[in-house]
Amino acid sequence: MNIDLSGRIALVTGATGQLGRVMARTLASCGADVVIHYLSNEAKAEEIGREVEALGRRAITVQADITNLDSIQAMKEKALAEFGRVDIVVANAVIQYEWKSILEQSPADYVGQFESCVLQSVYLAKAFIPGMIERRRGRMIGINTECSMQNTPGQSAYVAGKRGMDGVYRVLAREVGESQITVNQIAPGWTVSEQDRTNNTEHSESYEINVPLKRRGTDQEIANVVAFLASDLASFITGAYIPVSGGNVMPAI
């Protein structure tokens, strides 16, 4: 049994990020053509595009502000002009900021998290779901976080944004399910990335001691679940919040 995305068109937002770049490569390795979104790192986006093409797939790079509906609509038009449609949307981009206590956190950080978690998801749905409804197939995959279940001090803006995102995805799953569109979330734990490998920071005993598998997950392990949810193997999974955290968080029934 193989994950086969041949003939599919995938969009990854934040594709130049530590996790996004691996998602883009992995989707391409499974056969998908890829729309590589970036905000400011054009050089990295072009590099990832060349890597996708080296895998025998087509790629385009598109700059957009994921907190702005007009910008996302413009990205959609560029994707449709090149590929004709988008079958798989991976909402991975998020605004980065310094974590502080609620009493110290700037209100602007809460706004930024709402915009990049909740509104990004809404805008992507408005742009790409109508085409999926017409074709009666599609995949919407949001990158959430284990932090949504942990509620650790200092994470309030991030948790608030990601919990709001969770609500959007669950409602959307019910609204578009009859069109055979699946809407799911992946919740990574603290993930080992290319940056960690470069800096030799793959391990953290204080974190790993609480993880049942006693290690941090890898960027590839996150991307593997993205590819699975994007495929026909996951055609009857929707509305799910799937931790990829080594058991560090466990949703209960």
Query: Which are the catalytic amino acids?
Result: 158
CB atoms within 10 A of CB 90: 31
Whether the CB-CB separation of 183 and 176 falls below 8 Å is answered with yes
Pairing of strands 59-63, 33-38: parallel
Whether the CB-CB separation of 184 and 229 falls below 8 Å is answered with yes
Whether the CB-CB separation of 212 and 204 falls below 8 Å is answered with no
Whether the CB-CB separation of 216 and 189 falls below 8 Å is answered with yes
Whether the CB-CB separation of 205 and 193 falls below 8 Å is answered with no
Number of helices (H), then strands (E), belonging to the chain: the values are 10, 7
Give backbone dihedrals phi and psi of 15, rounded to 5 degrees, phi first: -75, -10
DSSP 8-state assignment for residue 186:
E
Q: Hey, is 221 helix, strand or coil?
A: helix
Give backbone dihedrals phi and psi of 148, rounded to 5 degrees, phi first: -60, -25
Amino acid at 172: L
Question: 153: alpha, beta or left, given left = phi > 0 and alpha = psi -120 to 50?
Answer: beta
